[in-house]
Amino acid sequence: AAPGAARRLYRRLLQLHRALPPALRDLGDRYVKEEFRRHRAAGPAEAQRFLREWEATLIQQQINEDKQNLREKTVYGIQLTEEKLNDFRDEQIGQLKELMDEATKPNKKITISKDSK
């Protein structure tokens, strides 16, 4: 993966987080920074997959942002399919659980709601 492409994606993700409430922005920024740092020494195939998945996440976040402009209530995040979850390693599932636990702590002023279809 081209280092320039990884840097551009990293910056775009952090820029997108600017629209989040402060607590979610901080949590999202930390998560992105840790993940990019953790994959800095990844092999070419893993690096390509890592960037492809983050690019898909970025596109989905932008779509959600566009949808939110048409709604009154803001919804954050995306629903992961069972197929996607099966692709994750146990360590990644643990990280997702930690992220969910942190984002849904009762003392946070963040509302997590399910997207109605």
Total structural domains in the chain? 1
Residue 51's CB is within 10 A of a number of other CB atoms, namely 19
Q: Give the separation between CA 76 and CA 20, rounded to whole angstroms.
A: 9
| pLDDT score at 116 | 44
Domain assignment present for 114: no
pLDDT of residue 37: 92
Q: 16 lies in which domain range?
A: 3-104
Q: Is 28 exposed, middle or buried (0-12, 13-18, 19+ CB in 10 A)?
A: buried
Whether 74 and 68 have beta carbons less than 8 Å apart is answered as yes
Element (H, E) at 95: helix 90-103
Residue 18 forms part of a structural domain: yes
In a domain, residue 113? The reply is no
From CA 37, how far away is CA 33, in angstroms rounded? Answer: 6
**Taking the model in full, what pTM does it have?**
0.54
Does residue 112 sit within a domain? no
117 within a domain of the structure (yes/no)? no
pLDDT by position in tens, the chain (length 117)? 566 888 898 998 898 888 888 888 898 899 999 999 988 888 888 888 888 888 888 777 776 666 666 555 555 666 777 887 788 788 888 887 887 777 777 655 555 555 544
